[in-house]
Amino acid sequence: MATSQQQYVGVDLDKNGGAVTDAVVEAIQQDNPGVELVDFNIYVKVKAPQRMIIRRQLVEDILGRNWDLQELHMVMASYFGFIEEWDEEKLVIRWSADES
């Protein structure tokens, strides 16, 4: 087993989400180090090592309109990692293997 590999967290976003998907991708890239994108036809996989944050304010700034984190339900097809926090302001996904 390749257990020495990096642990990634991430989300699969629907590319039909248009400006919202683009803004979420950009916000993730701005806020998180080491972000990788994998294009998958109708989805884009956005992954980052160990931890990922999506902030409402930043998405809103990029999008140029009010944006509620609940709208993520419409474009987030899947995710991997533990959802550590999800409130009005942010979504945090992470693995916690190295804590212990």
Partner 1 sequence: MAKLNVSTRYKALTRDLMWDPKDVNIKEIYPLIEAEGIHIRDPKRWEDPFRMTFNQYVKIQSEKEHLHHAIRGAFEANHGHARIVDSRWFEGVKAFAVAVQPAEYAAHRLMAYIGRNIPIEAIRFATFNQAVDELRHAQIEIKHYAHMSRYYDGLHAYSKTNENLWFNTVPKSFFDDALTSGPFEALIAISFSFEYVFTNILFLPFASSAAAVGDEHFASVGKSVQSDESRHMALGMAALKMLLEEDDRNIPIVQRWLDKWFWRCYRVFAVISTLVDYYPRIRAISWKKAFEMYVEDQVLNGLFKDLFKYGIRPPRHFEDSMKEKEHYSHATMRILDHYKHANYFRGFRLQPDDYDWLSREYPNTFERYYAPFFRKMDDHVMAVASPGLPAVCAVCQIPCEYPNPDRPQESWTQYVEYNGKTHMLCSPGCRDIFLAEPEKYMQWWWPAESYLSGEFGSSLEDMFEYFGFTPEEANEHYSSRDYHRWIRYREELGLDKRFETV
| Residues binding partner 1 (CB under 8 A) | 1-3, 5-9, 12, 14, 16, 38, 40-43, 45, 70, 73-88, 95-97, 100
What 3-state DSSP class applies to 5?
coil
Alpha carbons 63 and 24: distance in angstroms, whole number: 9
Q: How far is the CB of 85 from partner 1 (least distance, A)?
A: 8
- Our CB check for partner 1 shows the closer of 31 and 84 to be 84
Considering only CA atoms, give the Rg of the chain.
13
Q: How far is the CB of 58 from partner 1 (least distance, A)?
A: 19
